[in-house]
Amino acid sequence: MPVQEQALLGLCRTLLGDAPAPESSLEGYLAAIPRLNSLGDVPSGTPVLIRGDVDAKPGATIGEGDVRLRSMMATLQFGRERGWKQIIFGHIGRKPEGSLKAVAARLGELLGAPVPLLTNWYDASTKTVTEGTAKAIADAAPGSVLVLENTRAYDVERVLWKAKPADLPGLVGDLTKFANELAAKVSRIYVNEALSAGSLDASSTIVPMAMDRVALGQYVAGEFDGPMRRCLKTQLVIFSGLKTDKLDDLEAMIGRGTIRWVFTAGSLAMALKKAAAELDGQTFSLGVAEDPGHFEKPYYIERARIDQAKAMLSDARAKGIRFVLPVDFILQDGRAAEVIGPADQQFDIGPQTSALFEQKVGEFLAEKRDGTESPVVFHNGVFGMFEDPRFEEGTRRFVTQLKRMKDAGAEVYIGGGEGGTALERYGKPDWITHCFTAGGTVLNALGSQPVPYLVALRAAAKK
């Protein structure tokens, strides 16, 4: 049944924060969304649209740069065994000119069968899926897998990225047409097997609403039902990053009531460091990070974020939650300093902070009681500009603490992104319990905002 503009308008308002979300918990969303097994009755020869985790850069051989593609294999095999015609779509990078040619080739290698890439599948001038695309799908043999070229080549895929609620009445018509075209000419059944697809792409958030049936793929469902749910019980969180909006996510995680320890670094820590000083009747300079002349820079820390940090710390102190903040910093010229001058900027934690973190990890582990459930540790981000050797030591040194905690019996999870890159660079996979392949999605799931595609899938399933 085609989706109506009014239904999509309501969903879009929710996605942009202009209307309340229908659920307040991750568990609530997951309970409402069907799993892949619910589609076991779909007959052979049926086209099934797969929102794939195709934002990958395959290397020369299988196993290089294709972890996201390999994560899709169980779902694709499930469909092939049942004779579905599976049509994978998604994006590569942010640029419209990117191509999924190498991705389609690697999927063919992984599946041991040709995976054609369908280019020019959408005509933006007529706002229709091309007849050639529809014919290619109709002519495909049962069990085939095909890939639609980069969805971000089309403006309609990206239209919600910068949209404001007031813009929606003028946008929802094209979005409705896009979703209904895919339902009419590609498939009426939709599976999300793209853990990392946390942006407001139409392929993730709009298209499900035009489908007759939707489901979470095996890998995505496994990540949410297993490791993600365990992270809801985090007791020690290590949070860092350049953007202070992570304070919102940290605040939401603390609000669940399980966190006892918080280690911080980066701009996030700077806001907390200044807030702690003010709460204690002291002062602390953030250097250029608080200079109004730098207000357009990503490292600039607004006064409102410091006030938010003060409220968070006051509440944490009352509840006995321990915040471990940096005590020294590596500045832009490589100096280690306990004070940040007006013209300075911090790029890493200093050696005293690394030693402090190691001491506090020991205290955290000492709290573990025999017979109690394993403590859960969640690590997100890196401590500095670790891609520059001058500012990598804080991150490199702390990766060994992740192994220390796991060896002591803790469950240690990394939220993907740069944290996962740091583990690859400075450690080994078995040093932790699990590393997610999608940092932003994990922060949404554990933090202050629902994952957009879960909002959409829930709405589609309830339709």
3 state SS for 159-179? CCCCCCHHHHHHHHHHHHHHH
Residue 15: both structure tokens together: 């996605």
Measure Cα distances from 389 to 76, 330, 380, 385 in Å.
41, 12, 20, 8
Q: What would the two tokens of residue 442 be?
A: 């994990």
Cα 348 to Cα 330: distance, rounded to the nearest angstrom: 5
Q: How many Å from the N-terminal Cα to the C-terminal Cα in the chain?
A: 10
Task: Count the helix, strand and coil residues of the chain and give each as a percent rounded to the nearest 5.
Answer: 45, 15, 40
Under 8 Å CB-to-CB from 112, ≥6 apart: which residues? none
- What b/e string do you get for 329-360 counting C-beta neighbours within 10 Å, with b at 16 or more? bbbeeeeeeeebeeebbbbbbbeebbebbeeb
pLDDT at 432: 96
- Tell me what pLDDT residue 139 has: 97
Same fold, 5-222+451-462 and 232-432: yes
pLDDT in tens, 154-207: 999 999 999 999 999 999 999 999 999 999 999 999 999 999 988 999 999 999
CB 157 within 8 A of CB 2: no
| 8-state DSSP, 4 | P
Tokens of 43: 């007959």
CATH 3.40.50.1260 for the 232-432 domain, yes or no: yes
How confident is the model at residue 298, as a pLDDT? Answer: 85
Query: Which tokens belong to 229?
Result: 């749910």
Cβ–Cβ < 8 Å for 193, 72: yes
Beta-sheet strands, E only, within 80-138: 85-89, 117-118, 122-123, 128-129
Dihedral in degrees, nearest 10, Cα atoms 421, 225, 46, 131: -40
Going from N- to C-terminal start, the domains of the chain cover: 5-222+451-462, 232-432
Per-residue pLDDT, 123: 97
Q: Which residues, given as ranges, of the chain have pLDDT below 70?
A: 368-371, 448
Q: Domain 5-222+451-462: give its CATH superfamily.
A: Phosphoglycerate kinase, N-terminal domain (3.40.50.1260)
266-279 and 246-255 are packed helices; what angle lies between their axes, rounded to 10 degrees?
70
Q: Which residues contact 115 (CB under 8 A, 6 or more apart)?
A: 104, 105, 107, 108, 145, 146, 147
Look at residue 73 and give its three-state secondary structure: helix
**Would you state the pLDDT for residue 369?**
61
| pLDDT at residue 132 in the model | 97
Tally Cβ neighbours within 10 Å of residue 174.
Answer: 16
Provide the angle, in degrees to the nearest 10, between the axes of the packed helices 246-255 and 303-319.
20
The encoded tokens of residue 248 equal 């919102």
